[in-house]
Amino acid sequence: MNVAYIRVSTIEQNEARQLEAMKDKHIEKYFTEKVSAKNTNRPKLQEMLDFVREGDTIYIHDFSRLARSTEDLLNIVNQLNDKGVHLVSNKENLDTSTPTGKLLLTMIGAIAQFERENLLERQREGIKIAKEQGKFKGGQPKAIDKELFQELKEKYNRREINKVQFAKLLNVSRPTLDKLLAAE
């Protein structure tokens, strides 16, 4: 069976470019998700890894869609090899069923990890400079109206509003609301 794994990092991003690249691959099943590849704790990735069987081929647009660290990439490839599943990358034109493909995969994985670490280092440097200039306020707890929070919490507990409504009325994100509720 030909399987495709499609991934973009955020909800705002569009996977159309990757889907277009799969048109001539005769894909029978797609696994698509919008989540960072900082680790392998991704629902559709895990579902795909459980789904594939010996003789299947997984198509990806490029290796960075599958993993951002060499370790994660190689672990996934080893898992696929153990199951007798081939991995083909369109962009790199690589097939892991060949010795050359395995060698090049290791090198590409190392480069992807290097790029990610450089990106994170530049981000840290930028945040440090912004902090020194007083421009960075990240990680500051959001000030909320505690009275309104309690009132909305009671409505939420009585199931008069759902979590999305609760967060919207409080003017915070869902993750922030979850943190507020956990701190109670």
Query: One-letter amino acid identity for 130?
Result: A
Q: Which CATH superfamily is domain 2-113 in?
A: Resolvase, N-terminal catalytic domain (3.40.50.1390)
Q: 């369109």: which residue's tokens?
A: 90
Respond yes or no: is residue 173 known to be catalytic.
no
Nearest to 107 by CA among 66, 75, 63, 65: 63
- Provide the whole-model pTM: 0.59
| pLDDT (tens place) for every residue of the chain, 184 residues total | 999 999 998 888 889 999 999 999 999 999 999 998 888 999 999 999 999 999 999 999 988 899 888 778 888 988 998 999 999 999 888 888 788 887 887 787 788 778 888 989 999 999 899 888 888 777 666 778 889 999 999 999 898 998 889 989 988 888 888 888 888 7
Domain borders along the chain are: 2-113, 146-183
Could you say which of 9, 64, 69, 89 is catalytic?
9
Pairwise CA distance, residues 7 & 164, whole Å: 25
